[in-house]
Structures are given as structure tokens and as C-alpha cells.
Structure 1
Amino acid sequence: MFQFGGFNMIFPDVGRSFQSSYKCFSVSMLPGNERHDVEKGGKIIMPPSALDALTRLNVEYPMLFKLINSKKNRNSHAGVLEFVADEGKVYLPYWMMDNLLLEEGDIITIESVSLPVATFSKFQPHSTDFLDITNPKAVLENALRNFACLTTGDVVAIKYNKKVYELCVLETKPGNAVSIIECDMNVEFEAPVGYKEPGHPKKEEKPEEENVENMEEDVNTFSGSGNRLDGKKKKEAQLSQPVMKKILARGIPDYDYKIGVIKFDRNVKPISDRVQKEEAIASEPEDFQGQGFSMKKSRK
């Protein structure tokens, strides 16, 4: 506050950022009742003195913070849920401590920041179990209501049907850290870690020699005793009689054909055989000889 000629002029600390260091602990170490709602989201619990300092600095709302682990050179971003922690301490979700490589009681630096509103984000599930969810976008949208911002490279944890799913933030736009409070954000999913697309098994091609052997086996497939169409049993004489092969006439296929065997059948008989047959026919007596008679009586 400065005095000029009796006028009191107060210049508020506009534009100054909040920065402080605290001992960090997981939410399970928070005294009192268990706070399961903190584990489900991306917000932290800070001490009341932080609220007083933020109010005096006129920090923009919503209050967003950058969390820095100087020893491990890791950082992330978060919102604030409540100012009820013990002085000098802050409480973080366990998945956030895991991202920052923090142990119970480690020192963490917290700075107030202003982040752009998110327009796009891309996630990759760490397990193929995430594919069992019927509508993953709706589940993620419902889980992100407990988050204030996203940081590229973080692995966030969401709970659905009593099961925790971890998703890596692969990309955020328009920056590496974005605010997701009251925004219209497009969401995409990358294939889960360890996912393999189902492939079609290739048919093994058998060599030509095996195919020829199979064809030869198929020729003798129809073996066994025959049956009559009228249902009667064959006579014993027919069963005991050997089957005689008949010479097939021209035009009828040879059903006994074997692969690899070529036959040259000739139906033309030698001249000597034909002459003997003609002489035998001429020597036979004529069966029908004599005078013929008419059934009708002739008129005289």
C-alpha cells in the first residue's frame, strides 16, 4: 500500500503464481474416515494455509496445479478437492504418486498454473480386459468427471464394476497438459497393450504325390457285398459264384480303370475268326422249312 497526497492506493498481487513445498502422502494416510472418492479422481487435498495464500493472490478458477518431483525430474497436473490437510502436508491419489515416483513423506513442490481447455485426448489401456467393457467411452467419460486436468504421459486409473483399469494418456490437444472442466473433448482409444488381432489360419498345401495316392484310395472306396433293390437276399449260388468280368462294348466306360495304366482295346476280330464263323452258320440246318398255309379259306 502506497500513500500519495492523502490517497490510499492498493495494488493487489495480480499475476503472481502460488508456489509451495509439502510432504506428500497417499490418501490412505489421511486421518479420519477413508476417502475413496479421492482415489477415483485426479484431485488432491491441501492444507487451509494454501487456500489463504491462493485467495490473496487472486488465482484464477478453477484452481489447477503443477506437481513437481525435483529429485526424479517428474511432473504432473491436478486439481484440488478440499483444503483440510494437516499443515505442511498434501494428500494425493496413489496412482498419481506412482506417476511422480514419490514415496510416503517425500517432498513435492506445488505451483498454480493456467491450462488450455482440452479438445482432444487419446488413451491406451494397459490390459486387454478393458475390451470387455460394453461402452468404454461412456465409462471413461463418467470417470473423468472426478478429474480436473490431464497430462500427456500419465497413467490414470479408473474404477468400474469393482475393478481398476489403468490407461496411459498418449496425447492431449492443444497442449501436453489440458483442463477438462466443462469442455467438449474428442476421445480416441489405442489398441490395449498386448492385444493381437485374430488371424486366419493358413491351409497347408499337400504335395501332388499325396493327392494322387488319395485318389487311388478313393477308387477302391466302394467295396463290400451288394444288395437287391427289392429287399430280398441274394441266393447262395450268387454269393458263391465268382464274378466274371465282361468285355465292355464301345461307348461304355471302364469302371475298373486304374490311374497310371493305359489300355488299348481292339474290337476288330482277325479275318480267320470271321471266316470260321461264317462257315459254321452255313453248315447249320434250316429250322424253318416246308409249305405255308393260310388261315382263311380261299373262295372257289
Structure 2
Amino acid sequence: MDFEEYLRLQSQTFVQYYRCLPLSLLKKENADEDGNRVIMPLSALDRLARLNIQYPMLFQIKNPSTERVTHCGVLEFVSDEGFIHMPSWLMAHLGVLENEIVLVRSTSLPKATFIKLQAHTKDFLNVPHPREMLEYNFGKFPCVTAGETIAVTEGERRYYLDVLEAQPADAVCSLDTDCAVDFAPPLDYVEPPPHVVASKGSDDPPQPARFTGVAARMDGKPVEQQPTPSPAAAVNAVAPGVPKRKVRFGGPSAAGSGVSKSKEEGAGKEQEKQFTGTQYSLNS
């Protein structure tokens, strides 16, 4: 963006250059490093109010030197003038360092209808309440952009998820929306080898036929022919594959007070079966 365009946009929308600082420098208890909300100066709020910006307030952040773009929400307007405080992971995603310049522009994003995620490790499959965990963690992300890697937590555990796809646009608003979430197999997931079972054949070798000619009776009547024994069939070494089973996030299989002991014992066995991804509705 050249300087003339920058000045022209000042009267139409919110657009501003800021120097970037880590969110952790403010040492605020309500500032979450795992989300994508930033802290801006008070002057930004005054300008946004005059421009009648739609709520929730969402912003496009660009690294001018690399043209890399992502999106974020805002937590507070308490930073020093000319500075914006961002989560460290968001700075790393944009490729900006402390005190480097970013371009912030207000934007409006469509409501998310579909998001496809991919966990970095298959440990994510062991989360006991994945739907509740995602609904809680997505509350930290007012918007989601395809190509990002976000962090979600469950107790003391931290899981990293790649945002592979978002609909109806590459950047979507994830607040107050009924969104379907699909999961690709984890990055470290290895397809198990096919289960091969050889059919059991006879231990005795086949006996050669004693007589293969045509039989005849002395009185000329027809003789009932016995069927010639066929040689032993080849052993079929291909067995049906292991049945695929879906891991349903948010379904009845999620841990709860009504889960029987037999279901709990079967959960471990189901984890050994193939993971083919699943889809469910996520209410943020």
C-alpha cells in the first residue's frame, strides 16, 4: 500500500501502521497468549467509534515486508500510542519481530460454517471431551484464518491444530455461529498394515488319480460317472481388511456420567483402529 492510498483510506475505514510488541510485556491476567486477540491504543477506539465499525471488531493484520496476512480480534484499548500488543504465536506466524511495523485494517468476515483441522500428534485422539474442549478454546479465537496453526489446551496438555480449510471464506468469524468441524488424520498418524490371514489348507498332499479312463458295463447299461477330483485350490492369502471406524467428536461416546464400564474398556481398543476423520457441529 502506497502512502497516497493509505491517506485516502483514512476517511473510509480504519487503517493504521503500528509497531508490534509481545502481549506478555503487559503482564495482564486476562491476556491469553493462546488466542488471537490483540491490545490496541485508546486512539484506535475513538476512530473506530466515529467510523461506525461493525461488531465484533475484527482486523486484518499484514506484514508489509512479506505481504503475509492474518486476522484477529481486539481485547482492550490500553496500549501505548503507536504500538499494538500481539500473542507471540501470532507474531511468529506473520514473521515479525519486536518493534517491527505491521499494517492493521478493520474488516468484516462471514460467519464460519465449516472448518477443517489437523492435529500435529495422535495424542489429540485421546482427549476425553473433544467437543467441549474445542468449544471452550474457540472462545479465544473471534476469527480463524486458513493456514494458521492454533494451540488448544486440555488441563495441562497443549495440542497444536493446523487450520486446513475454512468456509465460506479463507478467513471467517467464529463467534455466535453453528460451525461444522472436520478432522484430518494427525500429522504423525501411520496407516496400519492390512491384516493378512492365510486360509488353512490340508496338510496331506493331494493323491494322484488311479484311473482316468471311461468305465463300461458288460450288459451295456450306462455307468454313473464319479466326478473327477479337482486338484487342491490355491491358498487365498488375502483377508478382508480391518473395518474402519470413525471417532465421533461430541457423540454419545464422549465420556460422561452415563458411560458404562464396558464402553470404557472398549475405548482403548477403538483407538487402535483406523482413524478416518469425523465431522460434527460446533457451537461457539
Band the TM-score falls in, shorter-chain normalisation: 0.5 to 0.7
Deviation readout 1:144-179 (Å, 9 max, x if unpaired):
012111111111111221222111111111111111
SS in structure 1 at match of 2:32: helix
What is the match of residue 12 of structure 2? 16
* Structure 1 CA distance for aligned equivalents of residues 22 and 96 of structure 2: 10
Following superposition, the deviation at residue 48 of structure 1 comes to 0.6
CA RMSD of aligned residues (A): 2.5
- Give the paired residue count: 197
Please state how far the C-alpha of 1:36 moved relative to its aligned partner: 6.0
1:53 is matched with: 47
Amino acid at match of 2:151: A
What is the aligned partner in structure 2 of residue 66 from structure 1? 60
Which residue identity lines up with residue 20 of structure 1 in the other structure? Q
Between the aligned residues of both structures, percent identity stands at 40
The runs of 5 or more residues in structure 1 that have no matched partner are 1-12, 213-300
Structure 2 distance, partners of 1:40, 1:174, is: 24
SS at match of 1:197: coil
Give, in angstroms, the shift of residue 14 of structure 1. Answer: 12
Please list every run of at least 4 consecutive aligned residues from structure 1 whose deviation after the TM superposition is greater than 3 angstroms. 33-37, 200-205
3-state SS of 2:45 partner: helix
Match of 1:273 in 2: none
Secondary structure at the aligned position of 1:39 is classed as coil
Residue of structure 1 aligned with 2:100, choices 77, 98, 106: 106
In the TM superposition, 1:204-283 aligns within 5 A as none
Would the alpha carbon gap of residues 148 and 200 (structure 1) be closer, same or farther in structure 2, given more than 3 Å must change? same
Greater RCO, CA 8 A, separation 6+: 2
Mapped partners of 1:102, 1:163: distance in 2: 27
1:126 and 2:114 are equivalent in the alignment: no
Instruction: Give the letter aligned to residue 80 of structure 1.
Output: V
Q: Is the 8 A contact 2:34 2:150 kept in 1?
A: no
Partner of 2:238: none
The one-letter code sitting in structure 2 at the alignment partner of 1:98 is A
CA distance in 2, matches of 1:46, 1:122: 30
Aligned equivalents of 1:133, 1:171: Cα separation in 2: 22
Structure 1, residues 69-108: CA drift from partner, whole Å, max 9, x if none?
A: 0112211001101001111111111221121111111111
Aligned-pair distance for 1:133? 0.7
1:237 corresponds in structure 2 to none
Give the Å deviation of 1:34: 4.0
The answer on whether the counterparts of 1:42 and 1:93 sit within 8 Å (CA) in structure 2 is yes
Query: Which amino acid in 2 is paired with 1:137?
Result: R
Give the corresponding residue for 1:28: 24
**Contact (CA 8 Å) 1:95, 1:157: kept in 2 or not?**
no
- The structure whose Rg is larger is 1
Between stretches 20-29 and 33-42, larger displacement belongs to 33-42
Cα pair 2:112 2:177 within 8 Å, conserved: yes
Structure 2 counterparts to residues 80-159 of structure 1, below 5 A: 80-159=74-153
Distance 1:40-1:197 versus aligned 2 partners, 3 A rule: same
Relative to total residues, which structure has the larger helix share, 1 or 2? 1
Any idea what SS the aligned residue of 1:83 has? strand
Aligned-partner Cα distance in 2 for 1:70–1:35: 31
Equivalent pair of 1:149/1:179 in contact (CA under 8 Å): yes
* Aligned partner letter, 2:80: D
